[in-house]
Amino acid sequence: MLKQVLAIASIVCASPALAQDVDAGKADYERYCAACHGIAADGRGSMQPVLVVPPTDLTRLTEANAGVFPLARVIKRIDGRDPLVSHGSPMPVYGDFFEGEDMTVKTPAGQPVLSSRPVVDLVTYLQSLQVPSD
């Protein structure tokens, strides 16, 4: 019961201004994601040729979503709530790495999304990479 109360309290009290760590997200990206998605996050990683489904260009997520970063979808793809078959198993393929301190961020529409700090840091880094629309 206490755990549920604390989880609800964290959702109610959380704001998008929580201290997300772009540098930690970048380090995690380079360690866990760059082999497939590329160091520049453009979908051209060294593993690209052996993947059945080409990796997404992660710098154009906002552009591909009508100018709004798809925060909830990206978080759920990374933390495994929206599995991706092309990875051979539900993401994340790194198991418990993405577990950790829970935190909540809000989508541009104000919807709270609960995830772990490593996932939020990683998504914050991906948001920083978005290229402006042409």
Q: What is the pLDDT of residues 11-54, one digit of tens each?
A: 334 434 345 799 999 999 999 999 999 999 999 999 988 887 78
Q: Which two tokens stand for residue 120?
A: 């939020």
Number of CB atoms found within 10 A of residue 52's CB: 8
CB of 122 closer than 8 Å to CB of 28: yes
What kind of fold does domain 2-128 have according to CATH?
Cytochrome Bc1 Complex; Chain D, domain 2 (1.10.760)
Rounded-to-integer distance, Cα 110 and Cα 131, Å:
23
Q: Which two tokens stand for residue 62?
A: 């906002």
pLDDT of the residue at 10: 40
DSSP state of 133: P
pLDDT of the residue at 125: 97
pTM for the full predicted model? 0.77
DSSP state of 80: T
82-93 pLDDT, tens digit per residue, is 776 655 554 555
